[in-house]
Chain A
């Protein structure tokens, strides 16, 4: 399974990139993750995750345009590959399977004991 395993944070990153569609680059991804999961991640941490995902072939990236706000540095846009999408599906299926196996009564929150 090595090479196809998705860490929790990596999964979040992939999903966020899909949410953002054409506008997925470093700053926007970070902002979206911070917004959705209420956890402050650093650009450095995100970088680690993105490089790992790219190495695994779940992501591809292309250089984008530069603008003055970025001090003339180009953006790098990220896109989820088919392999990435497939792995996301698999991860979700695995999870759904588990959820389905749990009798619903056991999922009720117990406050009494």
Chain B
């Protein structure tokens, strides 16, 4: 029996039938078939199929191909030329229509192209690494009894051990996220924040190009440093950099190589890359999260397999360390709700699909990509709708033209082609202008989105091809409905001066307007809700005073803190100060394990260190007990936030209770017992995207107190500038070789919501464009409807209707449409924005957004009225005699 695979590839045999001359077809098809069967029995299906395809493609030659028949009509090209000429004349004759039509199309296409460029750049992240399909980052879901955290950083040995134990792993690389250091060359000091440390094979796994230096020798010395091109330029100018020595907080660094600046579409960035071996505090470890671990898997390995193997790896290596630290068995540890779920993330997914803690930089969000893409589609759809509406609207004027052409013998086919050519002209013109607009807007757009989209990426042959085809298709689709409507007019009827409006046509036109306003209202409401949420976040009581706080970063660079503080305190306008290891919302917290004395089970808390006056400066509420202060010796006291009190299971008055900081392997001397000095009201120490989790606060006098690097100053806002300058003077005196870095707390907090703010602004722009386009459509529709009711209006006025009455009558028709649109738009907007708000732990109630819907509805109604009123008023004011007279 013939098997399915006994037949030659279907597509190619069809293709052949399609292009082959009929007189040769039987012979050639037979020959091809015979050869195919022969090859099939000799070499098997894959080779036979391949040879068959090749043979078919080689058949494409003049002797075999059918003659191409462009048209049965000999006058085809002449017709085309005449139609083109007519189309142009028509477009120039109706300048206003052409302008709104082409303009609307151009703007929406330009917006669409910009969105696509943006999406293209967002989706191109990390696609240039040599083995990007096999390169993964190890990430972690860490389950705690009361919550789950997701980390991008994982323990130091996680990848290394996997490479040793799992045969499927080809290579691994670790990147330590780094810290700011001062770097000096020839008496010039810079603060370098983008310092990273990596394993030796960094440049093998990641596609960043090395500009000078030898790849195999880069990390031969422990204190090697590889500079980015622009950093090298900054220190050495045009001089040779390789071999030079930079002085830094980490000691002397020898430049061994220069790499290109990290391409923008990378999920990390470095200015200085040092040898991981230089950081001796990083030791073999399976519990403390410290580095980004990357694995290169062998060809064809399923990452799921590695995920599964990690479960055993944790049991085998991490369990022991956890048991030593926690003093309980790993089984008990897991039973209490703790757990580690390591998993691999494809490196190309990191930018858009990974929102973990301790990412290198704020990542993009795939949801925004989908939102923007749908907006792009909607905006083009709106413009296409306009096209249709405006063309049908003009049918009133063109009806006679069509009638006369038909009487003179035009076929329906010819009329359709004429209208199609017209609409394709419009869409091509729109596309050309849109491309021009994209060129104009891109620089501003780049500034706005912090991207460097290159126009050279845009003007590729493929893109140009796609755009041309797209505008032809768009013109075709948009033109087809009007073309059929206009060409189907009965000449006798239209020449008599009667207009036909079928119920059907009205339904489509109204439907289109409803659709346009539906989109616009959804966008208006969404924009307003985004604004509400942003305001909510800015106004929310975070549990501390964020206004008028000047933060001096890296204050640990000052050798004598007390003198510095005294000097700063003398500056007029400084109303108090206090230092901490991390500022709310901005800083890094460290983890430590605690248990209540007498309880076996310990939990991990986020920790921060406060110096004596910090709580007071930041005006945080102390609910019970006291804050740290000079009067007390606070080496062994700590404060907890409310969540920590609950998480530790403290009953009764927490003040005075003893909690044990479980040291485990790190401090063989044993655990340290702390007394709870006070309880701080929960404050949002991270962004409002996440909930407040349990936190312990150490005193600067405690063992953790070495690094209270952020000095917060409560200042008088009117003197901000002079205070900043006065401190600069003091800093220069006391820490001459160190960089002075300051920030204002409220600004830093705003930066946390930068992505939301940007998308809010983009929403606003899109909304504006959508409304504008919808108005154009409505304007067209108004022309059409009022045009066809002009006699009715005349009669009404003759019978005594006032102008105002007529205007009201005309408007009420449109009101109905807008109301339907509002009704449809509200649930849609609620759904979309509900999804968006999910991304915030602290968010406005959907109920509270009702005002946005009211405003959205009213605004769209007002805009619609404004648009329609021009025609309505003009029609209502006109002289009825003119309207009623027939020639």
Contacts and interface: CB of A to CB of B under 8 A. Distances in A.
Interface in B17-31: 24, 26-31
Interface string A33-69: 0000000001111011001100000000000001001
A48 B27 contact: no
Nearest to B32: A43
- Label chain B's interface by main secondary structure: helix
B804 to A, nearest CB: 79
A30 B58 CA distance: 14
Interface string B48-76: 00000011001111111000000000000
Contacts of A42: 54-55, 58-59
A75 B158 CA distance: 69
From B24, B28, B34, B62, name the one whose CB has the most chain A CB atoms within 10 angstroms: B34
B33 A71 contact: yes
B61 to A, nearest CB: 5
Interface string A16-37: 0000000001110010000000
Contacts of B64: 44, 47-48
Nearest to A26: B31
A101 interface: no
B35 A43 contact: yes
From A25, A44, A45, name the one whose CB has the most chain B CB atoms within 10 angstroms: A44
Contacts of B34: 27, 69-70
B37 interface: yes
Contacts of A25: 31
B31 A27 contact: yes
B27 A44 contact: no
A76 B33 contact: no
Given A43-B32, A74-B30, A69 B61 contact: no
Interface residues of B, number: 22
From B27, B54, B63, name the one whose CB has the most chain A CB atoms within 10 angstroms: B27
A71 B33 CA distance: 7
From A30, A69, A75, name the one whose CB has the most chain B CB atoms within 10 angstroms: A69
Interface in A77-93: none
Contacts of A26: 27-28, 30-31
Contact of B58 (A44, A69, A76): A44
Given A27-B35, A47-B24, A75 B30 contact: yes
Given A26-B27, A73-B27, A44 B61 contact: yes
A47 B59 CA distance: 9
B62 to A, nearest CB: 8
Contacts of B26: 73-74
A96 B35 CA distance: 37
A30 B59 CA distance: 14
B30 A47 contact: no
A69 B24 contact: no
Nearest to A48: B63
A76 B27 contact: yes
Nearest to B27: A76
From A25, A30, A71, name the one whose CB has the most chain B CB atoms within 10 angstroms: A71
Contacts of A30: 31, 35
From B31, B34, B54, name the one whose CB has the most chain A CB atoms within 10 angstroms: B31
Contacts of B30: 26, 66, 70-71, 73-75
Contact of A71 (B29, B38, B58): B29
Contacts of A76: 27
From B29, B35, B37, B62, name the one whose CB has the most chain A CB atoms within 10 angstroms: B35
B859 to A, nearest CB: 66
Contacts of A75: 27, 30-31
A69 B37 contact: yes
A70 B33 CA distance: 5
Nearest to B2: A68
A25 B30 CA distance: 11
A70 to B, nearest CB: 4
A105 B30 CA distance: 51
A52 B28 CA distance: 16
B33 A69 contact: yes
A51 B33 CA distance: 20
Contact of B31 (A43, A45, A48): A43
Given A27-B35, A48-B63, A69-B33, A43 B28 contact: yes
Interface string B577-604: 0000000000000000000000000000
Nearest to B63: A48
A100 B375 CA distance: 82
A73 B33 contact: yes
A42 B33 CA distance: 14
A73 to B, nearest CB: 3
A79 B685 CA distance: 94
Contacts of A69: 33-34, 37
Given A52-B63, A74-B27, 15 more contacts: A26-B27, A27-B35, A43-B31, A43-B55, A43-B59, A44-B58, A44-B59, A45-B58, A48-B64, A70-B33, A71-B33, A73-B27, A73-B29, A73-B33, A76-B27
Those 8 A-B pairs whose CB atoms lie nearest each other, nearest first? A73-B30, A26-B31, A42-B58, A70-B30, A44-B59, A44-B58, A71-B33, A76-B27
Interface of A: 25-27, 30, 42-45, 47-48, 51-52, 66, 69-71, 73-76
Interface of B: 24, 26-35, 37-38, 54-55, 58-64
28 contacts: A26-B27, A26-B28, A26-B30, A27-B31, A42-B55, A43-B31, A43-B55, A44-B55, A44-B58, A44-B59, A44-B64, A45-B61, A47-B59, A47-B61, A48-B61, A48-B63, A48-B64, A51-B24, A70-B31, A70-B33, A73-B26, A73-B29, A73-B30, A73-B33, A74-B27, A74-B30, A75-B27, A75-B31
